């Protein structure tokens, strides 16, 4: 695997690969890789001739300076993991390489960014859209791989691809979890042992809410879920929403949806975690 730090070097490689008719799969990440990332990389190596992974902790998508500073950075370990899954190129640029000038570009995603992560992390999706656009332009993938763990991000990137006519296919894979249900996340590394014991409560709350969805009003489920989580003083719920699985708009009651998503964001200690679960109402 070759490690590339410069945009110009990657452009030259991608140009030659595309001229040679190679199909390129791309997995954008912020590093501190885990099994959630690795399933995307394995899918990419299966489905494409060449796989490019990026590891870039993108400053413009952090609305909290300490979250950016404390975000785990484990590049040497990432490189060894990437070698085990057959990744061909790792793009690991500096912030200056991606942002030679400060970006003032503004994206707007309408209703999609007015809720949940968009509402609670001002500027977050603008930073995501900026960096994903830049990376798509440089990497020029045929397929790009994302995780359902960041459900709203997938919807934003889908809208971005359509709006800007990126010539690529988006592929989304389910959330990979630890044995106790906690969604794998680079931020889990920041949890203390005691907080790590508490963190699966988020997934347990989603499971309970899913089981009660057809029996109780959404408002009641929300209140019960908040009460249950706040039994621990280390957990601070930021939001829990039942949303339409296609539009991601919050619902006050279920009315004819085939599928909904249950989405949660909560602080466990100082660490902000998100999770979600899709619920197919036709089957239940
Ligand atoms: P990140 O490095 O957290 O920005 O994530 C990079 C990509 O991996 C994104 O598309 C995420 O949605 C995806 N991802 C992160 N964690 C998981 C997980 N537990 N399961 C599936 N995909 C994930």
pLDDT one-digit tens code per residue, 179-189? 999 999 999 99
Last residue of a domain, one of 139, 173, 207: 173
Top pLDDT among 77 and 255 is at 77
pLDDT band of residue 149 (cuts 50, 70, 90) is very high
In a domain, 128, yes or no: yes
Residues 6+ apart with CB under 8 A from 264: 202, 205, 206, 237, 239, 240, 274, 275, 276
Return d(Cα 274, Cα 150) in angstroms, integer: 8
Catalytic residue numbers, as ranges: 37
Q: Residues with beta carbon inside 6 Å of ligand 1? A: 29-30, 36-37, 40, 146-147, 149-150, 173, 175-176, 183-186
Query: Mean pLDDT, to the nearest integer, of 255-261?
Result: 93
Nearest CA residue ID for atom 18, ligand 1? 36
How far does the centroid of ligand 1 lie from the alpha carbon of residue 152, in Å? 12
Domain, as residue range, for 193:
186-280
| Structure confidence by residue, pLDDT tens digits, 1-52 | 999 999 999 999 999 999 999 999 999 999 999 999 999 999 999 999 999 9
DSSP state of 226: H
| Structure confidence by residue, pLDDT tens digits, 216-246 | 999 999 999 999 999 999 999 999 999 999 9
Phi, psi of 172 (to 5 degrees): -120, 135
Nearest CA residue ID for atom 17, ligand 1? 36
Look at residue 283 and tell me whether its pLDDT is greater than 80: no
The alpha-helical segments, DSSP class H, found in the chain are: 7-19, 35-47, 65-70, 75-84, 95-98, 116-120, 124-139, 151-163, 193-198, 201-212, 218-229
SS3 243: strand
In a domain, 251, yes or no: yes
Beta carbons of 99 and 124 less than 8 angstroms apart: no
* Average pLDDT, rounded, for the chain: 97
Give the CATH number for residue 228.
3.30.1300.10
Last residue of a domain, one of 173, 208, 230: 173
Beta carbons of 55 and 90 less than 8 angstroms apart: yes
Pocket test for ligand 1, best of 53, 132, 147 (most atoms within 8 A of CB): 147
- Both 95 and 196 in a single domain? no
Last residue of a domain, one of 144, 173, 202: 173
- Both 56 and 30 in a single domain? yes
- Both 104 and 233 in a single domain? no
Cα angle 115-116-119, degrees, rounded to a multiple of 5: 60
Strands of 271-280's sheet in order across: 235-244, 259-268, 271-280
Cβ burial 88-126 (10 Å sphere, 16+ → b, else e): bbbbbbeeeebbeeeeeeebebeebbebbbbeebeebbb
Return d(Cα 244, Cα 231) in angstroms, integer: 29
Beta carbons of 272 and 238 less than 8 angstroms apart: yes
Pocket test for ligand 1, best of 30, 32, 35, 36 (most atoms within 8 A of CB): 36
- Both 137 and 26 in a single domain? yes
| Structure confidence by residue, pLDDT tens digits, 170-220 | 999 999 999 999 999 999 999 999 999 999 999 999 999 999 999 999 999
Return d(Cα 9, Cα 132) in angstroms, integer: 18
Return d(Cα 234, Cα 199) in angstroms, integer: 10
Q: Is the dihedral of CA 200, 66, 64, 131 positive or negative?
A: negative
- Both 129 and 205 in a single domain? no
């Amino acid at each position: 695997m070759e490690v590339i730090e410069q945009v110009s070097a990657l452009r030259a490689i991608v140009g030659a690969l595309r001229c040679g008719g190679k199909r390129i799969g791309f997995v954008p990440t912020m590093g501190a890789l885990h099994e959630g990332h690795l399933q995307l990389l394995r899918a990419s190596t299966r489905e494409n001739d060449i796989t490019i992974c990026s590891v870039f902790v993108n400053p413009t998508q952090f609305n909290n300076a300490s979250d950016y500073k404390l975000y785990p950075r484990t590049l040497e370990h990432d490189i060894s993991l990437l070698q085990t899954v057959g990744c061909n190129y790792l793009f690991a640029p500096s912030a200056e390489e991606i942002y030679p000038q400060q970006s003032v570009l503004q994206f707007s995603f309408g209703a999609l960014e007015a809720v949940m992560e968009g509402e609670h992390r001002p500027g977050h999706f603008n930073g995501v859209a900026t960096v994903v656009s830049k990376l798509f332009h440089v990497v020029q993938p045929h397929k790009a791989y994302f995780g359902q763990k960041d459900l709203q991000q997938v919807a934003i990137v889908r809208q971005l691809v359509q709006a800007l006519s990126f010539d690529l296919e988006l592929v989304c894979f389910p959330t990979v979890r630890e044995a106790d249900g906690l969604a794998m996340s680079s931020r889990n590394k920041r949890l203390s042992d005691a907080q790590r014991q508490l963190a699966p409560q988020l997934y347990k709350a989603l499971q309970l809410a899913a089981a009660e969805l057809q029996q109780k009003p959404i408002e009641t489920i929300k209140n019960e879920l908040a009460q249950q989580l706040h039994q621990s003083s280390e957990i601070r719920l930021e939001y829990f929403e039942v949303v339409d699985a296609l539009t991601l708009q919050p619902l006050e009651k279920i009315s004819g949806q085939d599928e909904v998503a249950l989405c949660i964001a909560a602080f466990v200690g100082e660490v902000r975690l998100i999770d979600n679960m899709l619920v197919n109402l036709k089957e239940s």
